[in-house]
Structure 1
Amino acid sequence: MNWGLIVSYLNVTGGRLDSHIIVFFAGTICWTIIYDTIYGCQDKDDDVKIGVKSTSILFGERVRGILAIFACSFLSCMTYAGVRNGHSIYFFVISCGGAAFHLSWQLATWNHADREDCGRKFESNGNMGYIIWIGLALDYWVKVNNVSNVSG
C-alpha cells in the first residue's frame, strides 16, 4: 500500500512529488507498523522460541502504548497532508475522523495475548482502508461537481 501512494501521486501530477505526500507516506509506514505488530503478536511466543526478531517482541508489554504513538503519528501525517492538499471537510470527518475512531477502537479493545483477537484486529485494517477511501472519494466527487460551501 505504501509505495502505491507515491507511484499514484507521481502519475497524477506528471512526476511532481510534493513534500506533504512524503509526510503522508511516512504516516502510512506508521500504520503498517501498527497492523504488522498486531499481526506479529499472534505468534510472538513461537518467535521468541526460535529467535525471530519483530516489533511485537521489541515493544513487549508496552506494545499498546507504543502503537498508540504510531497511530497518533499516522493521523497527524494524514491530516497534515489533507490540509496541504486542500481537501474538504468530508476528507477530515470521514477519512481522518473515521481512521481515528477505528484505531482508537482497535487499540482499546485489542487483547495482544489472544491469537484470535490479534487476527481479527489485523484484518479490521482492511475496513480502515475503505474508510479512508470513502472520504477521499467523496472529497473528489465534491470538487469535481463544484459543490459549494464544503471546501476546507
Structure 2
Amino acid sequence: MSPNAGTPEPEGRVADAVRGNWVDRYAPEMARPYLRLSRADRPIGTWLLLLPCWWGVALAAAESGWRGWDVWIALGCAVGAWLMRGAGCTWNDITDRDFDAAVARTRSRPIPSGQVTVRQAVVWMLAQMVIAGAVLLSYNWVTVLLGLSSLGLVAIYPFAKRFTWWPQLFLGLAFNWGAILAYAAHSGTVSAASVVLYAAGIAWTLFYDTIYAHQDKEDDVLIGVKSTARLFGAATGKWLGLFLILAVTLMSAAILLALLPAAGPLKLALALAAPWAMGWHLLWQMRRLDIDDPAGCLTLFRSNRDTGLLAALFLAAAAFL
C-alpha cells in the first residue's frame, strides 16, 4: 500500500507535483497558488535551467582560473534560475490555460483549476522578472545583454507546440542559454567553446524533454498539440541515442576548445569525464525507458538533475587544478 494511502491530498495540489513537497506542507495558504504557478512544488525544472549555467561558469573557470566573483555568479544563477523558471512557467500557464484544462495531468494547475486569475498570474510573472533583472544587473554588460536577449526565446516557447513538431528544440534554446550567459559573466566575452557547450545542452534537452512529452502523447493527439514524442513514436529510442551522442560529443568539443593546448593531462581528463559521466547516465535512462509508462517517464525525466550535476561536478573539479 502507498504510504500516502488514506491521507487526504492538500487542497489545490497539482497532479504531477512531488508528494509532500514544501509548498503543499509549509507555504502560507495564500502563497501556494502562486508558488504552484512557479512550479516551486516541482523543482526539477529549476535544476534543468540552472545546471547549464554552472557548466558555463565552471568551464570558464577551468579555462582561466577560479575567481572570488565566481561564487556570486553561481549563487546568482541559482536565484535567477528559480525566478526566471517561475516567470517562464507562469507565462506558459497563461498561454496554455485552455490546453491545460483539456489534459488530465495539467487541469489541476492554478489557472485552469481557478486558484489564480489570468490578471493575478501576469502580475506575479512581472514581479519575478523584476527581481531576476536586479540579479542580472549585478553582472557585466555582456551578460546583461545576453540575459535580455533570452526573453524572446522564453516568450516564443509556449507557442512552439502549435506550429512545429519540435517544441523541445525551442525549450532547449531557452533553457540552455545560461551556459553562454554564465561563461560570459566570468570571462566578459562569448567564445566558441561556450556556444558549443550551449549546443550540447540543447541536445540534452531534446533527450529529456522527449521522455517527458511521452506522458501526454494521447491527450496531445486529441487537442492537436505537437511534440517530438508524437513525431518519433516507436522510433524514440533511436532518436534518444542520437541526442545522447550529440550531447557527449558537443560537450567534449567545448572542453577541448576551451582547454587545449594549455591544460595539463589531469585537468583535461577530469574535464572530459564530465560528458562521459553524463552520457552513461543518459544510457542508463534509455535502458529503463518504457514510453507507454507515464509514471516511469516522469521518474526518468526527474533523474536528469543527477545527469547535469555529474557534468557540473567534474567541470568544477577540473577548474580547481
**TM-score, normalization by structure 2:** 0.42
Following superposition, the deviation at residue 50 of structure 1 comes to 1.3
Q: Which of residues 265, 282, 294 is equivalent to 1:103? A: 282
Higher relative contact order (CA 8 A, sep 6+): 1
Asked if 1:123 corresponds to 2:302, the answer is yes
Task: Name 1:147's counterpart in structure 2.
Answer: none
More helix by share: 1
Give ranges in structure 2 of 5+ residues lacking alignment.
1-48, 50-175, 260-266
Count of aligned pairs between the two proteins: 140
* Residue 224 of structure 2, aligned match among 42, 46, 51: 51
Which residue number in structure 1 is paired with residue 92 of structure 2? Answer: none
Q: After the TM superposition, which parts of structure 1 deviate over 3 Å for at least 4 consecutive aligned residues?
A: none
Q: Distance in 2 between matches of 1:6 and 1:37?
A: 23
Instruction: Find the counterpart in structure 1 of residue 183 from structure 2.
Output: 9
Report the counterpart of residue 104 of structure 2 in structure 1: none
Instruction: Give RMSD over aligned pairs.
Output: 1.1
Q: What is the alpha-carbon distance in structure 1 between the residues aligned to residue 203 and residue 230 of structure 2?
A: 17
User: What is the rounded CA distance, in whole Å, between the counterparts of 2:254 and 2:225 in structure 1?
Assistant: 35
**Residue 262 of structure 2 is aligned to residue 88 of structure 1:** no
Aligned to 1:70: 243
**Percent identity for Structure 1 against Structure 2:** 34
Displacement, 1:116? 0.9
- Contact 2:192–2:257 under 8 Å retained in 1: no
Q: Which residue of 2 aligns with 1:40?
A: 213
Is 2:201 the partner of 1:25?
A: no
Structure 1 residue 88: Cα displacement: 2.0
Q: Report if the CA contact (8 A) 2:208-2:301 is conserved.
A: yes
Normalised to the residue count of structure 1, the TM-score between the two structures is: 0.88
Counterparts of 1:26 and 1:88, CA distance in 2: 20
| Higher Rg of the two aligned structures | 2
Unaligned runs of 5+ in 1: 143-152
Q: CA deviation at 1:37?
A: 0.7
Is the 2:247–2:275 Cα contact (8 Å) retained in structure 1?
Answer: no
SS in 2 for 1:17: coil
Shift of residue 100, structure 1, vs aligned partner: 1.3
- Taking the aligned partners of 1:137 and 1:19, their CA distance within structure 2 comes to 20
In the TM superposition, what whole-angstrom CA distance separates every residue of 1:56-102 from its partner, at most 9, and x where no partner exists? 10111111101110110111000001111115211212x12211110
Residue identity in the other structure for 2:301: F
| 1:8 CA drift (Å) | 0.8
